[in-house]
Amino acid sequence: MERGVRGIHLLVPELHVIASSPLTRAFQTAETVASAYPGVLPVKVDALAPGGERRSVLSWIQMQKDDANVAIVGHEPDLALLVSWLLSSGEKQFVGFKKGGACLLTWPTHITAGDARLVWLMTAGQLRRIGKKSPKVKGMDP
């Protein structure tokens, strides 16, 4: 996971907020991500727990600063459903994640469901390969 986080850090060098499901394993993953971003601590967001409400997650994202880079750590299939909904506002899942996978979404203007743009979507293996090319991230364990 740490090599994958190095890959994420290379792709997203600045991160301001990390939201996590309150469940232990997801929060541990969020802490691993946070280790690459000094001064950033994960925040537990109840709506990211399995079965959480997508609209509550969207409301939470909308409350962040306009220029904030926000990471979300959650569970499948809820995370894929959330990303699919943010991209299309539809109910069908068309994006999928395996453990350690990640994507980058942006919004052209207002953060709303259906208006997100997919910049990249990567598997854990792809992130690890990118992470191999990256020097050790300050603050992360070897």
pLDDT in tens, 63-110: 999 889 999 999 999 999 999 999 999 999 999 999 999 999 999 989
For 22-63, the pLDDT digits (tens) are 999 999 999 999 999 999 999 999 999 999 999 999 999 999
Burial of 91 (0-12, 13-18, 19+ CB in 10 A): exposed
Continuous segment of H or E residues that includes residue 111: none
- Enter the pTM of the model: 0.90
Structural domains in the chain plus CATH codes: 2-127 (3.40.50.1240)
User: Which tokens sit at 37?
Assistant: 């971003």
Helices (H), 12-123: 24-34, 54-62, 78-88
Tell me what pLDDT residue 142 has.
45
